[in-house]
Amino acid sequence: MAYSEKVMDHFTNPRNVGEIKEPSGVGEVGNPRCGDIMRMYIKVKDDVITDVTFKTFGCGAAIATSSMATELIKGKTINDALKLTNKAVMEALDGLPSVKVHCSVLAEQAIKAAIADYYKRQGMDPTPIVGKLTECEECACGLHE
């Protein structure tokens, strides 16, 4: 299984690792049975994600996709962050092996979960804005066997 230079760079030098004190929202996705768990923390001011960090338990691809996803949404509006797709994360990393696509799906889901938590903390129902979040049973991405 070959990884791109960007994947290796984000795995060995991950950006935005850690927790945010008093976050605006926190989202956790994944499942210990599949081995990948991602937790994203966001800080929001005036509808802009001013800071984003992550803690990921998983393979190198999971760490790399978490790192890249945080880079792609930092400084963006919530609306723009919600438009980030797993495909965009993979493209930014110059691709992933097919057996690791689920990692990019989890990164997208973690961002949406953190934004949903932000809206809940504001006393709002996030579903009309974020959409219905699926739980990771065998991993909701359906790519784990």
Question: Considering 34, 136, 139, 141, which one is annotated as catalytic?
Answer: 34
Question: Considering 59, 103, 139, 141, which one is annotated as catalytic?
Answer: 103
The answer to whether residue 34 is catalytic is: yes
User: Which amino acid, residue 78?
Assistant: I
The answer to whether residue 103 is catalytic is: yes
Beta-sheet pairing, 48-57 with 25-31: unpaired
Give the residue numbers marked as catalytic. 34, 103
